[in-house]
Structure 1
């Protein structure tokens, strides 16, 4: 990895995005375990690891928690979620609204299931242009995300029919957080993570509440116009976790090894299996077949280092490329991202997982993707 580090510290292009960046990768057998921090401070304390708000990277942990509940028989992938979440009973789809804010709805054609939530095909969305003019969104305008509770902050109306389209405007997976909580009385999502994810893997530096994590409170904050409330009222399974790179590496390494302390092997295999039908252009799931029709930042945030135009699908909680990326990821590896240019991937076939963490806005930054591509290529070259 020496040549990568030399390139990263000498290249002007890469220097533009590497303030407070940490990259890491691990092989399945543990023979390769790499982590490198890039910081603009000359007095970089290697003993002090940066803490990152990982935003939508939190969704993967929430997906794992939901699948644990499926394994225990508390939840079912293909049953109506309204039995547990009555807020979604009799779901309706927002068709349009006019200049006078008259809203037009139609009933959803079927019920929402956990599989819909995990594959981003439930039709529940945020940051979607269809929602921007709604009264509730106007009331929340200018406020940090989750200034209230989860259901107070987002719209429950759907923007697409269930199961017909992957919503590329970051479909909200926070209903999974309520799903997990309501079948595990006495737990918040944070305490559930602690009991069933963090303790088994020895993860200690992870929280939804900065004010409650003693080890985080002494760290120097970076300057950023924060988009999430601090403190938050509720644990936000769609994007509220704070943690470090080394702690995340424990989680992704566990999935890579098919560690049954977290999920059964057959569940992990199901998690990385494409779930969506090829009902769009060129056999790609509808929504994912429109990579060229969304803004470039958002496209890069979704695809990260997967080349534009690559056929992709969705598993139970993550994006899946359907062909090999030359010199890098295998087909049917899994990946997702976070709003602050945070990214991860797990390649089961080649036996490697990697992470790129930053706190840079806006999301889908081009220089960041270039830097991450350089890092990813170096990892695969190192592994031969």
Structure 2
């Protein structure tokens, strides 16, 4: 998979200014057409699609946990003749899977089946005696025993010390790839510059092989993007007694009314699936056509860090549930306490944040958490241009959906945050 870029502070951090800049006449806005209420967002989408930079984009925005989403859609599912993008189009959300996995774990914490500071070795004994690289990304033989056990908190906040083939360099990256520890997929085709290892056969096997690898950092010491949320999928399986994908379907997707979120897209829904592109030198090269997508195949196991396909309507329902503190359409999907805890800063005290994508923010259950003037914001982005977040201080939920890789080819994440800020405050966002 390509390296995930989250546009640093831009995609979520800018939204903290929304809370500090305004008092919201929300009810008056509800009847205003989305394009009129969000002209800057509309202009952003128009710019990307009319210029041919991207074939299609859609923004979904809403207030609180009860209002239906407003959407602004431009373009088509693929270049050329294709159905237009709408709220039911299907997008590869990649790392926007992580907050879903994080909230699933919080449900089990709330039920007492997991504890935040519980060593995962209680459930996965192979992680009981881990080794740590003396030099991060250095020698695979110059190791020392870990002083700290990996905990549930560490997995949720990317502080477990685990690696990621899209982040690490040197021999440990090679070891991850050669061992098949690449939990994600991009295409049925072999793509230049992208790892294509033989996949492991199950989450259990993934966890067992991962436990044989040295840690890059001492657990609890450094924020470092990793496969932690993929490993959390296995922890959820053991703690719940259910396959990870079944747990998500039964405990989150069905209660939230998310009818279009899958690890594998049913053949009957292929007509809704977008095409994913490589953005290279201003050109778009199809790497995963909707009609021949790798997401039509059964994955070797459910990737809790980057495996889901979803629709803007479905992901907005997930965000609505979070804004409702676990409640949507009169149904309590998870407890208010679990949502409040999962969207709070769960980082261990003293964590080194020098590698964090969003400077000055904390981290909750699988997503970034705003602090200070950014307080009340929770969300994350995906490797193919998508982003979704909530802001509790103003009751806002927002997401933008498109499909291109790498995500840093265009500043969609940052520009979307600034556009929302400009429209919500009525002020032009700073460049």
TM-score higher than 0.5 here? yes
Number of the residue aligned with 2:354: 289
Alpha-carbon offset, residue 203 of structure 1: 1.3
Number of the residue aligned with 1:87: 126
Alpha-carbon offset, residue 14 of structure 1: 8.2
Number of the residue aligned with 1:147: 199
Q: Distance in 1 between matches of 2:318 and 2:97?
A: 12
Number of the residue aligned with 1:166: 223
Cα pair distance change 1:359/1:87, threshold 3 Å: farther
Number of the residue aligned with 1:262: 333
Q: Secondary structure at the match of 1:23?
A: strand
Q: Which residue of the other structure, out of 305, 315, 323, is the alignment partner of 2:364?
A: 315
Q: Distance in 2 between matches of 1:123 and 1:228?
A: 30
Q: Distance in 1 between matches of 2:137 and 2:122?
A: 34
Cα pair distance change 1:76/1:145, threshold 3 Å: farther
Q: Distance in 1 between matches of 2:136 and 2:413?
A: 37
Alpha-carbon offset, residue 88 of structure 1: 1.3
Alpha-carbon offset, residue 290 of structure 1: 4.4
Number of the residue aligned with 1:37: 73
Cα pair distance change 1:367/1:277, threshold 3 Å: same
Contact 1:14–1:371 (CA<8 Å) still a contact in 2? Answer: no
Q: Which residue of the other structure, out of 92, 101, 111, is the alignment partner of 2:149?
A: 111
Larger RCO (alpha carbons 8 Å, 6+ apart): 2
Does residue 338 (structure 1) correspond to residue 382 (structure 2)? The answer is yes
Q: Distance in 1 between matches of 2:371 and 2:195?
A: 39
Alpha-carbon offset, residue 8 of structure 1: 3.1
Alpha-carbon offset, residue 135 of structure 1: 4.0
1:67-216 alignment, distance < 5 Å: 67-96=106-135, 103-126=141-164, 127=166, 128-132=168-172, 134-138=174-178, 143-144=195-196, 147-149=199-201, 150=203, 151-152=205-206, 155-156=210-211, 157-167=214-224, 169-185=225-241, 187-210=242-265, 213-216=266-269
Does residue 231 (structure 1) correspond to residue 298 (structure 2)? The answer is yes
Q: Which residue of the other structure, out of 24, 39, 59, is the alignment partner of 1:23?
A: 59
Does residue 245 (structure 1) correspond to residue 312 (structure 2)? The answer is yes
Q: Distance in 1 between matches of 2:86 and 2:228?
A: 36
Instruction: Name structure 2 gaps, 5 residues minimum.
Output: 1-34, 181-192, 278-285
Cα pair distance change 1:103/1:335, threshold 3 Å: same
Number of the residue aligned with 2:7: none
Cα pair distance change 1:6/1:136, threshold 3 Å: closer
Cα pair distance change 1:341/1:198, threshold 3 Å: same
The farther-off stretch of 21-30 and 235-244 is 21-30
CA displacement 1:207-255 (0-9 Å, x = unmatched): 1112xx2442344652543597843111111111111010000010111
Contact 1:323–1:332 (CA<8 Å) still a contact in 2? Answer: no
Alpha-carbon offset, residue 289 of structure 1: 3.2
Q: Which runs of 4+ in 1 moved over 6 A?
A: none
Contact 1:146–1:228 (CA<8 Å) still a contact in 2? Answer: no
Contact 1:18–1:38 (CA<8 Å) still a contact in 2? Answer: no
Alpha-carbon offset, residue 357 of structure 1: 1.6
Tell me how many residue pairs correspond in the alignment: 351
Contact 1:124–1:159 (CA<8 Å) still a contact in 2? Answer: yes
Q: Distance in 1 between matches of 2:103 and 2:44?
A: 34
Q: Distance in 1 between matches of 2:394 and 2:137?
A: 52
Q: Distance in 2 between matches of 1:239 and 1:275?
A: 21
Q: Distance in 1 between matches of 2:220 and 2:66?
A: 39
Alpha-carbon offset, residue 29 of structure 1: 5.3
Contact 2:384–2:405 (CA<8 Å) still a contact in 1? Answer: yes
Alpha-carbon offset, residue 96 of structure 1: 4.7
Alpha-carbon offset, residue 374 of structure 1: 4.4
